[in-house]
Amino acid sequence: MEFLPFTRPAIDEDTIAAVGEVLRSGWITTGPRCQQLEAELSAYCGGRPVRLVASATAALEMALQIAGIGPGDEVITCPLSWIATANVVLKVGATPVFVDADPATRNIDLAKLEAAITPRTRAILPVDLAGLPVDRERLYDIASRHGLRVVEDAAQSMGANWRGERIGSFGDLVSFSFHANKNMTSGEGGCLVLNNADEARLFEKLRLQGVTRFADGTMDVDVLGGKANLTDIAAAIGLGQLKKLDGFNARRRELAQLYFEHFDRELGCALPPADFEQSNWHMFQPLLPLERMSISRGEFIARMKAENIGVGVHYPAMHLFTLFREKGYAEGDYPVAEDIGSRTVTLPLFPAMTDEDVIRVCRTFSAVLRAVLH
Ligand SMILES: *Cc1c(COP(=O)(O)O)cnc(C)c1O
Tens digit of pLDDT at every position of the chain (374 positions): 799 999 999 999 999 999 999 999 999 999 999 999 999 999 999 999 999 999 999 999 999 999 999 999 999 999 999 999 999 999 999 999 999 999 999 999 999 999 999 999 999 999 999 999 999 999 999 999 999 999 999 999 999 999 999 999 999 999 999 999 999 999 999 999 999 999 999 999 999 999 999 999 999 999 999 999 999 999 999 999 999 999 999 999 999 999 999 999 999 999 999 999 999 999 999 999 999 999 999 999 999 999 999 999 999 999 999 999 999 999 999 999 999 999 999 999 999 999 999 999 999 999 999 999 99
Would residue 182 show up in a list of annotated catalytic residues for this protein?
yes
176 CA from centroid of ligand 1 (Å): 8
Q: Which of 85, 89, 152, 283 to mutate to test the pocket of ligand 1 (most atoms within 8 A of CB)?
A: 85
44 CA from centroid of ligand 1 (Å): 20
Q: Using a 6 Å cutoff on CB, does residue 177 contact ligand 1?
A: yes
Residues, the chain, total? 374
- The strands making up 121-124's β-sheet, listed across from edge to edge, are 50-53, 190-193, 173-177, 149-153, 121-124, 74-77, 95-98
- Closest atom of ligand 1 to CA, residue 57: 9
Q: Using a 6 Å cutoff on CB, does residue 78 contact ligand 1?
A: no
Looking at residue 230, the DSSP 8-state letter turns out to be: P
Q: Using a 6 Å cutoff on CB, does residue 179 contact ligand 1?
A: yes
The Cα–Cα gap between 133 and 162 comes to 6
Q: Is 74 helix (H, G, I), strand (E, B) or coil?
A: strand
The Cα–Cα gap between 50 and 44 comes to 10
Torsion of CA 12, 18, 24, 30, to 10 degrees: -120
180 CA from centroid of ligand 1 (Å): 10
CB 74 within 8 A of CB 67: no
Residues 6+ apart with CB under 8 A from 299: none
Q: Using a 6 Å cutoff on CB, does residue 15 contact ligand 1?
A: no
Q: What is the pLDDT of residue 1?
A: 79
Pairing assessment for the beta strands 74-77 and 95-98 based on DSSP bridges: parallel
Q: Using a 6 Å cutoff on CB, does residue 190 contact ligand 1?
A: yes
Structural domains for the chain: 13-239 (3.40.640.10), 245-370 (3.90.1150.10)
Q: Using a 6 Å cutoff on CB, does residue 84 contact ligand 1?
A: yes
Element (H, E) at 97: strand 95-98
CB 64 within 8 A of CB 123: yes
Identity of residue 255: L
